[in-house]
Chains A and B, each alone.
Chain A
Amino acid sequence: MKIYRVMAVVYRHLSLYKRSLTRLMEIIYWPVLDLMVWGFVTLYLQKFQGGLPPFIAFFLGALILWDIFFRAQQGISISFLEEVWSRNLLNLFVSPLTPLEFIAGTLVISLIKVVATFLVTMTLAYIFYSFNVFSLGFPLFLFLLNLILMGWSIGIMTTGAILRFGQEAEVMAWGLAFLFQPVSAVFYPVAVLPPVLQKIAWWIPSSHVFEGMREVINQGGFPAKELIWAFGLNGLYILGAGFFFSWMLREVKEKGLLLKSGE
């Protein structure tokens, strides 16, 4: 692993954002819209349901955290798609850049995106709804870390699929994260899911994060059990994603798909 090659990848992608307003907007646009819609919904609901758990914290906390997951995943798969769109893959593959270094570069990009998004949503949530996400305390950082790890593992998997199946797999870059949303128990406790989905949810790191978040909001304290599960599952996810990616890479080099650009 050579740091200068990782930095080259970072440089290339930052140069892209420097000049592209649409790409910059993407980091701010959706999160802000989401935040507004859900923020107002919760304000409205709160009028009726005074006795129920703190809606604002539940919804806005969930929303801010979910966006972290989504951006972390996007940071990787969109960076890879940029290379596909610009037909630059061959240039990368004939260079000494290793897949791991490329992924490391996109991880840095995704981290930058995540931080940008987090700062925007966090600030707006505070200004508009006086919701301070830091009220979650120290566990917040562990929640974020887990969501980022899960986002990365899904991002790496998506990248492998795009490498192998070309732009047909592009929808995965946008859609796959949402497949996890219902079973991630983002906006409701796992307990409301039907039994089958509860079993599935158990295997999704993000469901433990959101359960943990609600635990903190409801009772305070440190959700050790949920966090241990989240970290453990994420370890498996990252490992699985790594295997999947190298399998796809082998297939691609076997079938000569690198030479066939676009679709």
Chain B
Amino acid sequence: MKETGLARKVLMPYPVLQANRLVKKFKHTVAVNSASFTVYEGEILGLLGPNGAGKTTLMALLLDLLTPTSGTVSIFGMELRKNREKILNQVNFSSTYIAMPLSLTVRENMVFFAMLYHVPDYEKRIGELLALCEIDHLTNCLTRELSTGQLSRLNLAKAMLNRPKILFLDEPTASLDPEMAQKVRDLLKNLRDTLRCTVIYTSHNMLEIEQISDRIIFLNRGEIIADGTPRQVMELYQKRNLEEVFLKVARGPGIQ
């Protein structure tokens, strides 16, 4: 798995996203401090780090939901803030902490977003995606009737509507049961392998990150403290798994 990911990178290292010395300062915190990295096509990139490390902030910077204090983001070779519309048409985002209009049916919500992204032949696409996320039996239910996990799946289905080239996911598996979480992981791998979709996601599930990430970026207090394949990061900290790396980092300054 990881070997093929690497091989792909060596063969065709097409950079889809570049972050250049991104800094975001809030009143009391430096949430992201001089983050620079490049993400390649077809890569699954896991962002990890303790609560408050800056993962969500970083993702928001990459989506222009947040204006950086300094630094730039370019996606598909275009500067994000100057080509917002063009870029956002080709990426998508889903997160456990956003909802959708609850008084609309599942179908109506999907139609709305399909119209927004100008998805061709959208009825068919919606059918496929709802089936893929296993909520097709809820098509005509009001969105307020969905359980938390079903809502996450709807969010995920929405995020795939426009066949994004980059999929941003903030804790996509947080509210899913183990079986569904596994299905989502398989789905992400499948998207990468068949459509060369790039996935940038956050998670607190270390095993999951180890399992599906081609590469991880480890954040702590806004700093990137490690960037590489899961194996490289484990080696850097001389640990057997990411869980142990995480604990070592989270517990204190005695890194290295």
Chain A positions within 8 Å of B, measured between CB atoms, are: 2, 4-5, 7-8, 11-12, 15-16, 19-20, 82-83, 86-88, 90-91, 93-98, 250, 253-256, 258-259, 261
Contacts and interface: CB of A to CB of B under 8 A. Distances in A.
Given A96-B84, A253-B67, A258-B60, A7 B100 contact: no
A259 B60 contact: yes
Interface string B95-128: 1011111111100100111011110000000000
Pick the 4 closest A-B CB pairs, nearest first: A8-B115, A87-B99, A94-B93, A86-B101
Interface of B: 24, 26, 56-57, 60, 63-67, 84-86, 88-89, 91-93, 95, 97-105, 108, 111-113, 115-118, 158, 168
Nearest to B56: A259
A96 B101 contact: no
Q: Is the interface of A mostly helix, strand, loop or mixed?
A: helix
A93 B115 CA distance: 15
B115 A259 contact: no
A97 B98 contact: no
A261 B97 contact: yes
A247 to B, nearest CB: 13
Residue from the set A8, A95, A255 with the largest chain B CB neighbour count within 10 Å: A95
A82 B65 CA distance: 20
B33 to A, nearest CB: 15
A250 B81 CA distance: 12
A87 to B, nearest CB: 4
A5 B98 CA distance: 21
B45 to A, nearest CB: 17
Contact of A8 (B102, B104, B112): B112
Contacts of B116: 5, 8, 95-97
A96 B89 contact: yes
A7 B93 contact: no
B111 A11 contact: yes
Contacts, number: 97
Given A4-B115, A254-B67, A98 B101 contact: no
A15 B164 CA distance: 26
Nearest to B66: A256
A93 B99 CA distance: 13
26 contacts: A2-B118, A5-B116, A11-B115, A12-B108, A12-B112, A15-B104, A16-B104, A86-B100, A87-B99, A88-B98, A88-B101, A90-B95, A91-B93, A91-B113, A91-B158, A95-B116, A96-B84, A96-B88, A97-B116, A98-B84, A253-B66, A254-B67, A255-B26, A256-B57, A256-B65, A259-B56
B67 A250 contact: yes
B154 to A, nearest CB: 11
A122 to B, nearest CB: 30
B65 A95 contact: no
A19 B56 contact: no
Contact of B65 (A4, A11, A90): A90
A94 B98 CA distance: 12
A90 B93 contact: yes
A112 B85 CA distance: 28
Contacts of B67: 250, 253-254
Given A12-B104, A94-B65, A253-B66, A261 B98 contact: yes
A15 B108 contact: yes
Given A90-B93, A254-B66, 10 more contacts: A82-B101, A93-B63, A94-B65, A96-B86, A253-B66, A253-B67, A256-B24, A258-B66, A259-B60, A259-B66
